Chain A
Amino acid sequence: MNFDYSEEQQLLTQSVRQFLTKEYTFAARQAIIESDQGYSEQVWTTFAEMGLLGLPFASEVGGFGGNAVDLMPVMEAIGDGLIVEPYLASVGLGGQFIARGGSQAQQQEILTALISGRCKLAFAQTERQARYNLAHVACRAEKTADGYRLEGEKCVVLHAPCADKLIVSTRTAGRTTDADGISLFIVDPSAPGVTLTPYRTIDNLRAADVRFAGTVVPADALIGPEGQALSLIEAVVDYATALVCAEAVGAMQFANDTTLEYLKTRQQFGVPIGSFQALQHRMVEMTIIAEQAKSMACLACVKADSADADERRRTISAAKIHIADACRHISQEAVQLHGGMGMTEELKVSHTFRRLTMIAQTFGDADHHLERFAACE
């Protein structure tokens, strides 16, 4: 038993934190989210130079062979700094599909480019009626003579506007919610028949609804065997869920730190408001919840790659239940204890509030995971 990060993990964390403190200040972030692209190419290049983009991938493609625990401190830093670059989408989702299910050629081509900062990925999965059911895939791919033709729509594809490749879940057989018959494709968003409707999300990420109208992809765009993608999707989404739990821990830690600081400095009735027991006990509750959430994120990251799929499902769902509840509680309390200032665009805590609000229901809200957790018995 050992909860310390290894020396390499600590060094990496240090350099990420240093970079974020120096270069990714709140003002710098404001400029990034207001820019046309909504992310910084320069930051992305720096991530590549720091080795962050290759962290979980095999050395054969230029990666460092790290596990989810190695990504944990990076995700915490991303949560703390509210990084809007597509790290989770590229490294935690898109790249994972290629690394786990892709052919040698796909791995060489896409992962090498991803690791060097030349390829950003987005995962096109959600559909309007799908909610959090990963098997709900209506978007179809019909086999043609030399490939597949895609027809259908995906919504809220995070980071699709900047993505060089989309990883798209489609149905090659069966009915909309069947477990069998789901296939994954690598799709170029600039290909004919792909239409993006881009927008800004409430937490200042960029996303798009994506329509495929007769989009033709070659046969080698298929990831893994045709019609068998669901278990891969589930494993990768569980992995990304563990990572987003770690991101939440970083964001909650910031929310708590900044709220505590506010309680100590904001004066009313001639004293710091932190001297009031009503507020002290609420701050303590936030602290306890953050400690417990950190524990669940550790557990989730340790089990994210577990060979035992049942254990993985049960642990990831348990973590997400806890993190979802914690995100709601801490974000709401952080704003409340800041008073009106907590509502404003100019204070970072309101941005953290929005990110935590969305993380609470990313990859399934508490209710979704309560159902899954109970089914794991």
Chain B
Amino acid sequence: MDLNYSPEEMAFRDEVRAWLKDNLPDELRDKVVNYEELTKEDLLRWQKITAERGWGAPDWPEEWGGTNWTIVQRHIFEEECGYAGCPPRIPFGVSMCAPVLHKFGTQEQKQRFLPGMYNGDIFWCQGYSEPGSGSDLASLKTSAVREGDSFVVNGQKIWTTWAQHADWIFCLVRTSADFPKRQQGISFLLMDMNTPGISIRPLMLMDGGHEVNEVFFDDVRVPAENLIHEENDGWTVAKYLLGYERLGTGNTGASKREVLRLKELAAQQSKNGKPLIDDPRFRDRLSRVEVELMALEITNLRFLDQMRGGRAPGAEVSLLKIRGTEIQQALTELMLEAVGPLAQPFQSLHATDFDQQTASIAPRYCNYRKTSIYAGSNEIQRNIIAKASLGL
């Protein structure tokens, strides 16, 4: 047993670190570490920077720009990016729609869509959830009716992250109601967000941020060539994609950065004339989160080690999602408590002398409640482990 990276892996980590040091723009990093909202341009800019280095989509097939990294190298890259404070990869194109195209798309579809994802030219979003279909995704109702060379789409999607930025959307739609099982009759369809009949309504969240939206489809005509895989067999595609959605939700690199920040913060705050970090009650809670994070890092490596042989990620990915998000949430909660009464100021009404950094802590705490809900709620993840790993 050896928990250390090999010399080659260490060299690779140093290479990634050095590259990030030289290429991660300060203004992007500052926004990330200070929890500021990233614009569409910010997000695409980071994709472009990684693309120029040839690291725009490490896990893609090499012919399309993949790096042919080992699973450990990919992990190192993600960890280092998280730790350095890189903007999040826009997942919907490169990490979600692309694997589907690689697996199910025609050569023509790949050529049409993949380069725009890789180079950060096209911003994608995901149309899965509907008002009546959250965890129970297969009950979705948005319909797509075949009319000649087109589908006519009617219905509504919800929780569509960054739809306000998006140029394209990939959707699960119902193309037939004539099957005995609800999982049948679903299709995977790509749509240009500029198509007439698509409209967006922002869903403002309690932290004041605009991340998610409702997307409405009103007689939207979509060319039939935008269908991925077979009509009515979209559920196969959806299941394939769900495994990818949960990969990388552990985010231990970013959490390690947050632990350091929390320690700084708790050292600056004082309680009874002493730094808060020296208060045993506070410190114990922080230590328990640190320890859980140490464990998750090793657990993550153990799973990677098991997957090295090429085995596909299984239910253990759900474990990483559950614990990773619990840790992220615990850290935001401790930050909130670290600043005590100063957690209350939210928005300045005058332009002068307002501590924006402290004011960003409570909104972030509010915002991070999302992590145990999105990408398959943590309860759904527990169902997956119960069924797939435990056979219950």
Contact = CB atoms under 8 A, between A and B. Distances in A.
B299 interface: yes
Contacts of A6: 1
Contacts of B6: 1
A203 B288 CA distance: 27
Interface in B367-392: 379, 382-383, 385-386, 389-392
A371 B280 contact: yes
Contacts of B174: none
Contacts of B3: 1, 3, 298-299, 302
Interface in A1-19: 1-6
B392 A280 contact: yes
A280 B390 CA distance: 9
B287 A370 contact: yes
B165 interface: no
Interface string B263-286: 000000000000000001001100
Interface string A196-224: 00000000000000000000000000000
A50 B379 CA distance: 46
| Best-buried of A274, A288, A296, A370 by chain B (most CB within 10 Å) | A288
Contacts of B283: 370, 374
Best-surrounded residue of B283, B294, B297 (most CB of chain A within 10 A): B294
A264 B2 CA distance: 36
A294 B9 CA distance: 24
Given A1-B72, A263-B392, A296 B386 contact: no
Given A1-B9, A1-B305, A260 B291 contact: no
A34 to B, nearest CB: 35
B42 interface: no
B298 interface: yes
Given A2-B2, A3-B301, 10 more contacts: A1-B6, A69-B1, A277-B386, A281-B379, A284-B390, A287-B385, A288-B323, A321-B291, A322-B292, A373-B290
A20 interface: no
Contacts of B291: 296, 318, 321-322, 373
B322 interface: yes
20 contacts: A1-B3, A2-B2, A3-B306, A5-B1, A274-B392, A277-B383, A281-B382, A283-B386, A288-B319, A291-B319, A292-B299, A292-B323, A293-B295, A296-B294, A298-B3, A301-B1, A302-B3, A321-B287, A321-B288, A370-B287
Interface string A257-295: 000100110000000001101001101110110011111
A284 B382 contact: yes
B287 A374 contact: yes
A280 B9 contact: no
A269 to B, nearest CB: 16
Contact of A288 (B2, B72, B297, B322): B322
B114 interface: no
B383 A280 contact: yes
Given A292-B295, A302-B3, A370-B288, A1 B392 contact: no
B4 interface: yes
B7 to A, nearest CB: 11
A3 B1 CA distance: 5
A280 B386 contact: yes
Interface residues of A, number: 40
Contacts of A72: 1
Contact of A260 (B292, B295, B390): B390
B296 interface: yes
Contacts of A293: 295
A264 B392 contact: yes
Interface residues of B, number: 40
Nearest to B278: A374
A318 B295 CA distance: 9
Nearest to A256: B390
A287 B323 CA distance: 12
B295 to A, nearest CB: 4
Contacts of A322: 291-292, 294-295
Nearest to A318: B291
B5 interface: yes
B21 interface: no
B389 A2 contact: no
A294 B291 CA distance: 13
Contacts of B9: 1
B257 interface: no
Contacts of A299: 3, 294-295, 298
A304 B310 CA distance: 32
A277 B301 CA distance: 30
Contacts of A283: 386, 390, 392
B40 interface: no
A334 B382 CA distance: 18
A279 B283 CA distance: 33
Most buried by B among A1, A277, A285, A321: A1
Contacts of B379: 281
Contacts of A318: 290-291, 294
B302 interface: yes
B389 A287 contact: yes
A375 B19 CA distance: 35
Contacts of B295: 292-293, 295-296, 299, 322
Contacts of B382: 280-281, 284-285
Contact of A298 (B280, B290, B298): B298
A373 B301 CA distance: 23
Contacts of B304: 1
B373 to A, nearest CB: 16
Interface string B1-20: 11111100100000000000
